[in-house]
Structure 1
């Protein structure tokens, strides 16, 4: 049985240009969701706060680092956060404080509680709050992004799974 996007929990990952961090989070989280058998319950997307790269695939270095770990991002294309995203997505997770602030400025008051930092779901990186932008660095930066995103993806998946169990018990 298929579920419409409106019936799913919708998660949006956001960085600046939507070519490095947020598509990495998109691909990694989709992989974990599918592995958990929850792809019928969770819709995942990514976007940028800026329109620098609309329609472009993720950065080649991001794709290469992700492929080494088994994550495929080749079908993803950059887009800018749209006004309707604030009502469509229950979780709008920024990669850093700067992009979170930009989202907070554009987000209607009734949806502010949907905004947060992705690393708030991290289990291993408790003191780190931001996923650093690897764009101007070397390959080690893309590996670090993957380390952070993999951990936060597991934490977010656990959070959502716990919510589904709680909701199922309450019904």
Structure 2
């Protein structure tokens, strides 16, 4: 199957994770609070607004924070919530128990996530724990979608699948700004 996700999204320098004061202001509006632990914008919409932030594994107040990729774009957050409400997480978890290839790819995504977080610092309290239910179940599509958007196609299979499903269902399209 061809992946309809663009390999290089039409965004301002997708590899540049620089966080500007403007980004922080947008994030505060998206989140409804002051963003915490932000070290990069890991994915942007085609207009350049933050979709995913890269966060430190330990917040300024000392709290361990396992979610290195945090989904912030309102439209993609809503689309993820809709998929969750429609039972997609349960379907995906069931497939992990019978599809060995998918389970292996999901385990590799878990390892990738851990390596990305470890590159930001070691936090013993969350050592070996990724996010979103990885590596054995699907607990949070928001995390898997954030990981897929940050890492690019082919790293997070269930996040990639959720993004394709969002587009197919008319919930969210990576190639259009809906901010």
TMscore range, shorter length:
under 0.3
TM-score, scaled to structure 1: 0.25
TM-score, scaled to structure 2: 0.24
Larger helix fraction of residues: 1
